[in-house]
Amino acid sequence: MYCSTHLVGGATAALAARNPAIAFVLGLTSHALLDMVPHHDYGKVGPGLIDVAVGIILLLAIRSFGIGPQVVWGALGGVLPDLEVVWAYFHPASYALPHGYKKLIFPSHNGLLLQRSLQLPWGFLIQCCIIVAGFLILRAFQT
């Protein structure tokens, strides 16, 4: 799933938190849950860089809503698990296992939780809907 989707999902989940630690855990939880939704993943660096830039813009927009700092912690928890995927992409030999598997830690990355792929354009459109819905929910909590 895209960084921007996990960022908005984590920030939205964090609305239920009153402190940064709980917000961060809710962001991590949202990452696992969102990974179970059928989605498209990009496999090249270029789209990933664009996605990270979009995520930063979305986070700045969300922060402008004046919602408490917990949304930043939730967003961080939402995107942090994918850093292991980025690391494994750039260091494939250190993560290689037999049969094409990689030794990743996060449950939706290592196969413990099912992650289903969906081809373009549907996998992209589902994520756009998740981003818009989360953004509207966050906007509704604007102070």
Q: Which two tokens stand for residue 136?
A: 């509207």
Q: Which two tokens stand for residue 102?
A: 């990689």
Give tens-digit pLDDT for 106-123: 999 888 898 889 999 999
Q: What is the pTM of this model?
A: 0.91
Q: How far apart are CA 127 and CA 136, in angstroms?
A: 14
Give tens-digit pLDDT for 1-53: 999 999 999 999 999 998 999 999 999 999 999 999 999 999 899 999 999 99
Which of 120, 1, 4 shows the shortest CA–CA distance to 51? 4
The rounded percent of the chain whose pLDDT value lies above 90 is 74
Whether the CB-CB separation of 107 and 32 falls below 8 Å is answered with: yes
Whether the CB-CB separation of 36 and 114 falls below 8 Å is answered with: yes
